[in-house]
Structure 1
Amino acid sequence: MDRTLSRQRLAGALALLGLIAQLVGFTPWADTTQGVSYLFWAAVALLWKDIPKRSRTQAAVLIILSCAMLLLARLGYGADIQWTRVLDGNVFVVAMLIGVSFISLVGSQENTRASGKRLTGSGGILRTWLGVHFLGTILNLSTIFMVGDRIARRRPLSMPQYLALNRGLSSAALWSPFFASMGLVIALAPEVRYGHIALLGFPLALLSGLFTTVELNRRFDLAEVDGFSLSPRSLLMPLCMAAGVMLFHFWLTPTLSIVSIITFLIPAVAVCANLRHGGVQTVKRLRLHTFSRLPAMRGELSLFLAAGLLTTGLSTLVNAAAGENWTLFAHFGTFQAMASFIAITLSALAGLHPIIGISILASVLELGAGEQTLFAFVALSAWSVGTSVGPLSGINLSLQGRYGVGSYAMMRNNFVYAGVMSLLSLGAIAGLGRVGV
């Protein structure tokens, strides 16, 4: 067997073992966080050569900076560092990402079939946005390819279609409990009130779809621009998954976080859905997923783990240099939240993934229980706007790699959208800050 293939398969197996270890950690039997972090980092190390150059460079810079800060904290300030646990950052989020990937084993792309009637014009753009948005709440980045490939069958994608795909998915970060952004903020702010986030984030996401439809209709001739439409049955999966998460969160396992519930629920549903095809076929599909899909997540896994290490390194250095009681803001209120949103969004324009800005912000804050929901909404809204316009975001790099559209062309065409969504987000942040949740 080819060495590269063997290495990738081993990495996939380690990632799966890390997920299993994480699930064991949800029980009272053992604390597996440290073992999970070693398994995930080992998987990334094996896949390091295969990570796209830009993602690998970002991850490498984060790792080097993190190690330098840890060494400076230890040698320069005498900080007591638990070296065996410095790799633990963001393992909950990475486990959730791996768990969510198993949703691809539920059903097939035929479930997202379009209606027989051709959809064009602003109605087609709106339905493309809706399809990507609601499927993307569960399927995440894979939705871009699922929907994009279908509407590209007639002719190559055009800029309005790229923008509808981009904005439909990025806006799901505002409220979806299954998105990596939500996993990150819940890990950083465990006392966040998801209900408040959804009440603000979902309407804001719908405004994104409305603005996209109106703006693209004014800027482009959409008469021959094809859209995408879901059959009603296709929305059952996102709705059922969301209902299942709420069932476990409020009644069956109220002590577990939403991130933890998603991490075990989606793989469990995937296995149960495949058992109707027989045990042998189920094992074959799980094996293919482990050896093919999990190694393909190398860019996401490396970035999230490196960002977690950065959070650990920066917070350790700050605590050592300024004292454990130092924070960037003595109080995280409306002004501080708005300034933080602007800073993270501008860093995304400069090419940094929003996770980096969010992680840095979290590492220099000491959030009270009443401030965590405001912080979470700042992070989610900055993630949504930042990934839509950022030239090096996963969404724009995926569109570039799959369909050839330039990331900087996407950035230029999203400037107005980013400005409008930033103003709406700042207004929502102001309103949430006044409520004082």
Structure 2
Amino acid sequence: MLLPSFAPGVVASVCLLGMALGSVLHLLFPLLPLWLSGLCGWLALVFMLLSGQPLRAFTQFFLLASVGGILLLWGMMRGGAVSLPDILLQNNGLLVMLYCVGFLRLIAAGDDTAHESLPHGKKAFLQTLMGVHVLGAVINISILVLMAERLRVSGALNRQAVVVLSRGFSLAAFWSPFFAAMAVALTYAPGAQLYPVVLTGLGLMLVALLVSVLELGGWRLQQVADFRGYPLHFGSLVIPLLLAVSVLVLHEGLPAVPVLMVVSVTAVLLTVLFLWVKRPQALWQQLAAHVLGSGSRMAREVSLFLGAGLLSIGVQTLSGTFDWQPFGHFGAVQASLALAVAILVALTGVHPVVSVSVLGSLLTPLHVDPNMLAVLFLCFWSLGVVASPFSGLNTILRSQFDASGMDLFKGNIRYVVLMWGVVSLLFFWKLPVSGISAT
């Protein structure tokens, strides 16, 4: 009997579930090899490729994997060593986190304001900016689409509103433990600690928020006197705040558990708990529908991060066969220049995770402060995605809501330059100018 045409997509979804379960089971039963989780992730990608989705959706994966594969083979020919589990598990933790955090959309993306008139004025501007930031920090891109659609239906999604949404959402990458940026930063800055990274990121977020309010609204917010924004209520913020507090408390109580796993398990458990309390009759139906739809929903993320992981492994393997290293040290000057290069590269359409994976691999031999390195990677992400009209964030606004790429670029580039200066000052304060030399 022939399998139905949608079978590969369903199998991909089951493999993603296996990826998450394999990671959790390894934590509970260490004798169970973790590489099984990584294998499930790669199998999910194989079935995504067979599911009938346009291959152009996987262009970035093919490019990254090709370059990574070439570098890997070159490094092995030069005597470099790499194991299959290393390849399977690169970026596995952050993919598990992304998968688990995706469950939050079942409880946090509901729109209880569909029939409410839009607020306007300075307060509406601040509500919209903070709303997309706080909610986006937990449930990611879903809230951006929800809020943009609500404004579009009401005829309020103009150039100014689009820039406010993109700006507020990108700020979450500075600090949120639920954001993919944090998972990437902690993965490529081994030894980084959650609290210092989050606190530093929160400080940068507050500065960026102040810069955004003044730049978009003016000194007296006179530029947003007629702004029509999203209706936000305190009840909308309860779940994000509860999740953030839960993660911090659990991380303090279970310091031996990797923070990515704490975030992953907390997101799923709280989702199930809220659904059981609010909609018990539909609990299993909603969970099953979400799980079975994950293959098509996560195709871009899975392919991007697996491709970037293979590129990182290739860079590590090849660079380890040379005595020469591109960095004799990595201090404030190098960090500032690296951020500038990462932003410029993002403007060409290259995702910040690529810049993170390459730089993280090259800095392996150096003793760079892991917390500040993680903060640098968060800045790669936050400033890179808002600067580039080709980022996933701005592509959604352009493709689904007919926003102009040039308007997004003009609306955000001055902010990006200003924040590059702010972040550079932070590095000159926190990192020695001369850096710490390699051993």
Structure-2-length-normalised TM-score: 0.90
Task: Name the residue aligned to 2:95.
Answer: 94
Matches of 2:111 and 2:58, distance apart in 1: 34
Q: Give the percent of matched residue pairs that are identical in Structure 1 and Structure 2.
A: 26
Do the aligned partners of residues 335 and 404 (structure 1) sit closer, same or farther apart at CA in structure 2, a change above 3 Å counting? same
Deviation, structure 1 residue 14: 1.0
* 1:143 aligned partner: 143
Q: Distance in 1 between matches of 2:198 and 2:79?
A: 43
Paired AA for residue 185 in structure 2: V
CA contact (8 A) 1:13 1:291 kept: yes
* 1:33-432 correspondence runs (5 A): 33-48=34-49, 55-75=57-77, 77-83=78-84, 85-106=86-107, 109-110=110-111, 113=113, 118-155=118-155, 157-217=157-217, 222-251=224-253, 253-276=254-277, 281-320=282-321, 322-323=322-323, 327-366=325-364, 371-432=369-430
Does the CA contact (< 8 Å) of 1:14 and 1:39 recur in 2? yes
Distance 1:279 1:160, change over 3 A: closer
Q: How far apart, in 2, do the equivalents of 1:294 and 1:408 lie? A: 33
Distance 1:302 1:141 in 2: 17
Matched-pair contact (CA < 8 Å) for 1:396–1:410: yes
Indicate the SS of the match to 1:392.
coil
CA deviation profile, 1:297-354 (whole Å, cap 9, x unmatched): 110111011111110011101112x14xx54323332122112211211111121111
Distance 1:25 1:330, change over 3 A: farther
Greater CA drift, 293-302 or 241-250: 293-302
Contact 1:332/1:371 (8 A) holds in 2: no
Per the alignment, do residues 176 and 31 of structure 1 end up closer, same or farther by CA in structure 2, a change over 3 Å counting?
same
Please say if residues 391 and 411 of structure 1, whose CA atoms lie closer than 8 Å, have aligned partners that are also in contact.
yes
| RMSD (CA atoms) | 2.7
Worse overlay, 166-175 or 340-349: 340-349
Unaligned runs of 5+ in 1: none
What is the CA distance between 1:25 and its match in structure 2?
A: 1.6
Verify the 8 A CA contact 2:188 2:356 in the aligned structure 1: no
**1:87 counterpart SS class:** helix
Whether the aligned pair in 2 keeps the contact of 1:353 and 1:390 (CA below 8 Å) is: no
Q: CA deviation at 1:78?
A: 2.7
Count, aligned residues = 431
Partner Cα distance (1:408, 1:130) in 2: 24
Give the drift of 1:155: 0.8
Once structures 1 and 2 are overlaid, which stretch shifts more, 211-220 or 391-400? Answer: 211-220
Amino acid at match of 1:198: V
Segment drifting more, 113-122 vs 235-244: 113-122
Q: Any unmatched runs of 5+ in structure 2?
A: none
Could you tell which deviates more after superposition, 165-174 or 85-94? 85-94
CA contact (8 A) 1:158 1:225 kept: no
Does the CA contact (< 8 Å) of 2:16 and 2:294 recur in 1?
no
SS in 2 for 1:177: coil
2:19–2:41 Cα contact (<8 Å) kept:
yes
Q: What is the rounded CA distance, in whole Å, between the counterparts of 1:380 and 1:39 in structure 2?
A: 28
SS at match of 2:88: coil
Which residue type is aligned with residue 198 of structure 2? A
CA shift digits 1:223-251 (9 cap, x unpaired): 54311132112111111111111111111
**Alpha carbons of structure 1 residues 244 and 294: separation in structure 2 relative to 1, 3 Å:** farther
Amino acid at match of 1:158: N
Q: Is the 8 A contact 1:115 1:230 kept in 2?
A: no
The 1-side partners of 2:234 and 2:109 are apart by 15
Call closer, same or farther: CA 1:55–1:372 in 2, change over 3 Å. farther
Contact (CA 8 Å) 2:332, 2:424: kept in 1 or not? no
Paired residue type of 1:127: Q
Contact 1:167 1:208 in 2 (8 A): no
Q: Following TM superposition, by how much is the alpha carbon of 1:27 offset from its aligned partner in structure 2, in angstroms?
A: 2.1
Report the CA distance between 1:406 and its aligned residue: 3.5
After superposition, the Cα gap between the structure-2 partners of 1:45 and 1:412, relative to the gap in structure 1 and judged at 3 Å, is: farther
> Partners of 1:215 and 1:266 in 2: how far apart?
35
Whether the aligned pair in 2 keeps the contact of 1:24 and 1:32 (CA below 8 Å) is: no
8 A Cα contact 2:194 2:259, kept in partner = no
Q: Is 2:109–2:143's contact at 8 Å kept on the other side of the alignment?
A: no
CA distance, structure 1, for counterparts of residue 217 and residue 279 of structure 2: 49
Alpha-carbon distance in structure 2 between the residues aligned to 1:230 and 1:293: 29
What amino acid does structure 2 have at the position aligned with 1:362?
A: G
Asked whether the 8 Å contact 1:118–1:226 carries over to 2, the reply is yes
Q: Cα offset for 1:31?
A: 4.5
Shifted more, 304-313 versus 285-294: the winner is 285-294
Report the 3-state secondary structure (helix = DSSP H, G, I; strand = E; otherwise coil) of the residue aligned with 1:209.
Answer: helix
Cα deviation digits, residues 194-215 of structure 1 (max 9, x gap): 3332333213223333333332
For residues 163-203 of structure 1, the C-alpha deviation after alignment (integer angstroms, 9 at most, x for no partner) is 11111111110011111110111112232133332333213
CA distance in 2, matches of 1:52, 1:341: 33
Distance 1:2 1:217, change over 3 A: farther
Letter in 1 for 2:208: S
After superposition, the Cα gap between the structure-2 partners of 1:115 and 1:341, relative to the gap in structure 1 and judged at 3 Å, is farther
The 3 A distance-change label for structure 1 pair 167 and 347 is same
C-alpha contact 1:175 1:197 (8 A) present in aligned 2:
yes
- Find the residue that maps to 2:330 and give its secondary structure: coil
